[in-house]
Amino acid sequence: MFQTGFEVRQACREGAWTGPTCGLAAGYAQANLVVLPQDWAFEFLLFCQRNSQACPLIEVTTAGSWTPSLTAPDADLRGDLPGYRVWKNGELVDEPADVHRYWRDDLVSFLIGCSFTFESALLHAKLPVRHLELQRNVPMFRTNIPCLPAGRFAGPLVVSMRPFKPADAIRAVQVTGTFTRSHGAPVHLGFPEQIGIADINQPDYGDAVPVHADELPVFWACGVTPQAVLQAARPPFAITHSPGKMFVTDVVEG
């Protein structure tokens, strides 16, 4: 459908694409978005450094800038994603198509690597990706694994899940382990209850996908982790991407 990051961003900016970005612009790095006031930015930067597998930083903008000059210099973070979430005091208050009206001069944007980036490599290795086959968003779950706190930021690790047969799961570990800016290798295989997931068919974010009897659920650290952390830290204002609806950069990886 869309072959490049520019094409995805243009479609989002024009309102022609409002769905998840999984499967789009194969090979182009995708990113989660977190936008915070400048007086919260350092603590969040420290949180990302301490939890680099969940929050691998791709780029951080200067305060007030909506242009990620290193990864997509023609982009506008206020409208080049398919969907946004706006938070006040840790509460979700809006899910707009763009955030132009919310933008302020003190806002710092963080682009955090996304596991959608390595899915084209999985497909190239002939490993099936269930949510792409079903044209769904990836299932994501809050876990009982605590992140390392940093200042006012603390909370649970969020993971994304893709089911594989055991031999394919081993191969998936090998393939994704090289994508260190996109969460890298899985954090857990099988036994979802061991990481606090009561029902694999009831994700906290995204869409459910079937896990067959001969398959293992495989879990990767997920860039939705900051949204769980924001709910606990309760900053006065924040903007994030809508889960599964990423910013697609001009960076080619894999």
Domain of 210, CATH number, reads 3.30.2040.10
Q: Do the domain assignments include residue 233?
A: no
Q: Residue 166 pLDDT > 80, yes or no?
A: yes
Going by pLDDT thresholds of 50, 70 and 90, the confidence category of residue 254 is low
Domain containing 190 equals 121-225
Q: Do the domain assignments include residue 232?
A: no
Q: Kindly report, residue by residue over 109-124, the tens digit of the pLDDT.
A: 999 999 999 999 999 9
| Percent of the chain surpassing pLDDT 70 | 100
Going by pLDDT thresholds of 50, 70 and 90, the confidence category of residue 1 is confident
Whether the CB-CB separation of 98 and 75 falls below 8 Å is answered with: no
- Residue 124 C-beta-side C-alpha neighbours within 13 Å: 10
Structure tokens at 95: 């899910």
Is 62 found in the same domain as 28?
Answer: yes
Q: Do the domain assignments include residue 185?
A: yes
Cβ neighbours of 50 (radius 10 Å): 14
pLDDT of residue 205: 96
DSSP single-letter state for residue 61: P
Across the range 26-45, mean pLDDT stands at 97
Is 94 found in the same domain as 14?
Answer: yes
The H or E element containing residue 120 is: helix 119-124
Q: Do the domain assignments include residue 231?
A: no
Is 171 found in the same domain as 245?
Answer: no
pLDDT of residue 47: 98
Is 213 found in the same domain as 134?
Answer: yes
Is 248 found in the same domain as 152?
Answer: no
Q: Rounded to whole angstroms, how far apart are CA atoms 147 and 93?
A: 25
Is 111 found in the same domain as 130?
Answer: no
Q: Do the domain assignments include residue 64?
A: yes
Beta partners for residue 56, in sequence order: none
Q: Rounded to whole angstroms, how far apart are CA atoms 29 and 21?
A: 11
Going by pLDDT thresholds of 50, 70 and 90, the confidence category of residue 250 is very high
Is 128 found in the same domain as 79?
Answer: no
Number of domains observed in the structure of the chain? 2
Q: Do the domain assignments include residue 235?
A: no
- How far CA 169 is from CA of 48, 54, 179, in Å, comes to 27, 20, 16
Q: Do the domain assignments include residue 95?
A: yes
Is 84 found in the same domain as 19?
Answer: yes
The H or E element containing residue 113 is: strand 107-113
- Residue 95 C-beta-side C-alpha neighbours within 13 Å: 7
pLDDT of residue 253: 84
Q: Do the domain assignments include residue 245?
A: yes
pTM (two decimals): 0.94
Kindly give, in sequence order, each residue whose CB lies less than 8 Å from that of residue 178, ignoring residues fewer than 6 positions away. Answer: 184, 254
Whether the CB-CB separation of 44 and 35 falls below 8 Å is answered with: no
CA nearest neighbour of 145 among 177, 206, 188? 188
Q: Residue 65 pLDDT > 90, yes or no?
A: yes
